[in-house]
Amino acid sequence: MTVRQQCVAWLKANANTLMDDDGLGESTRLRDAVGVPNWGSYIQDMLRHGTTWGDEATLLAAAVLFKAEIFVISSVSDDCCHTVEPPPAWKIKVERRLVIGHYHEYHYTSTRKLSQRA
């Protein structure tokens, strides 16, 4: 729950952050790149733990907060995997790689085996 709240707070605070700064074409803000019709409703939905699933934007927020490249092994990707990381324009030094699984129409899941207690 804490990670969800941190990610959503980051999204809310960075809605107008530009996705690039290459000077080519129009600038795209984070909120526009997410492609939701109502940013405020989206933010409120993302806060609903247990009823709203995380998405690419929440993974991007986690990548920023954890200074991570998030490697997603998915059941829907043609090549079975893709990477979520902060755009180069944001100049965030990636310090770690997180690997998660994604089951289509279900959710993200840990790829780490949990130790069993006796």
CA-CA distance, 110 to 100, in Å (whole number)? 5
Residue, of 118 and 23, whose pLDDT is higher:
23
Which sign, positive or negative, has the C-alpha torsion 4, 7, 8, 9?
positive
pLDDT of residue 118: 46
- Greatest mean pLDDT among 8-17, 42-51, 53-62: 8-17
Closest CA to 65 of 24, 96, 37: 96
Sorted by where each starts, the structural domains of the chain and their CATH numbers stand as 2-110 (3.90.70.80)
Which helix (H) or strand (E) is 102 found in, with range? strand 96-102
pLDDT of residue 1: 85
Query: For strand 108-110 and strand 81-84, is the pairing parallel, antiparallel, or unpaired?
Result: unpaired
Residue, of 49 and 42, whose pLDDT is higher:
42
pLDDT of residue 15: 94
Residue, of 75 and 88, whose pLDDT is higher:
88
The torsion region of residue 95 among left (phi > 0), alpha (psi -120 to 50) and beta comes to alpha
111 pLDDT higher than 70: no
pLDDT of residue 68: 95
pLDDT in tens, 29-41: 999 999 999 999 9
